[in-house]
Amino acid sequence: SQKIEQNSEALNIQEGKTATLTCNYTNYSPAYLQWYRQDPGRGPVFLLLIRENEKEKRKERLKVTFDTTLKQSLFHITASQPADSATYLCALGAYGGYQKVTFGTGTKLQVIP
């Protein structure tokens, strides 16, 4: 069955450093991969989309890589700030049909001042 793995342990990082979160998947050939941010008690908010034929995407301090050979995506936040503290979800999707999107369980990031 399809499986998405995100580190369930919280990631603590010092302010100003680069945070790197990992999303691994098995038994899946996604057409695209998304990253969302979720704050406590709130709904997820879309951050970035990367398609299967793209290696890297950037948006301001965010960078996402997608390695379909390793079946892995890395999500980087450079110059991290305490306001970046949140849970980050990856989601894998396929085109066609109902565009099924499968979410990971998320990794909690804590940026320490």
Partner 1 sequence: DADVTQTPRNRITKTGKRIMLECSQTKGHDRMYWYRQDPGLGLRLIYYSFDVKDINKGEISDGYSVSRQAQAKFSLSLESAIPNQTALYFCATRAGQGSTEAFFGQGTRLTVV
Distances (CA, A) of 86 to 9, 66, 105: 13, 22, 13
CB of 39 to partner 1, least distance (A): 10
CA angle 65, 54, 16 (to 5 degrees): 25
Sole binder of partner 1 in the list 19, 21, 25, 44 (CB under 8 A): 44
Among 94, 80, 69, smallest CA distance to 21 is for 80
CB of 48 to partner 1, least distance (A): 10
Q: Which value, to the nearest 10 degrees, does the dihedral of the CA atoms of residues 49, 30, 18, 16 take? A: 30
41 lines the binding site for partner 1 (CB under 8 A): yes
Is the Cβ of residue 27 or residue 113 nearer to partner 1 in the bound state? Answer: 27
Sole binder of partner 1 in the list 25, 32, 75, 88 (CB under 8 A): 32
For residues 20 and 72, give the distance between their C-alpha atoms in angstroms, rounded to a whole number: 13
Partners of 57 in the β-ladder: 64
Sole binder of partner 1 in the list 23, 34, 73, 77 (CB under 8 A): 34
46 lines the binding site for partner 1 (CB under 8 A): yes
43 lines the binding site for partner 1 (CB under 8 A): yes
Sole binder of partner 1 in the list 106, 108, 109, 111 (CB under 8 A): 106
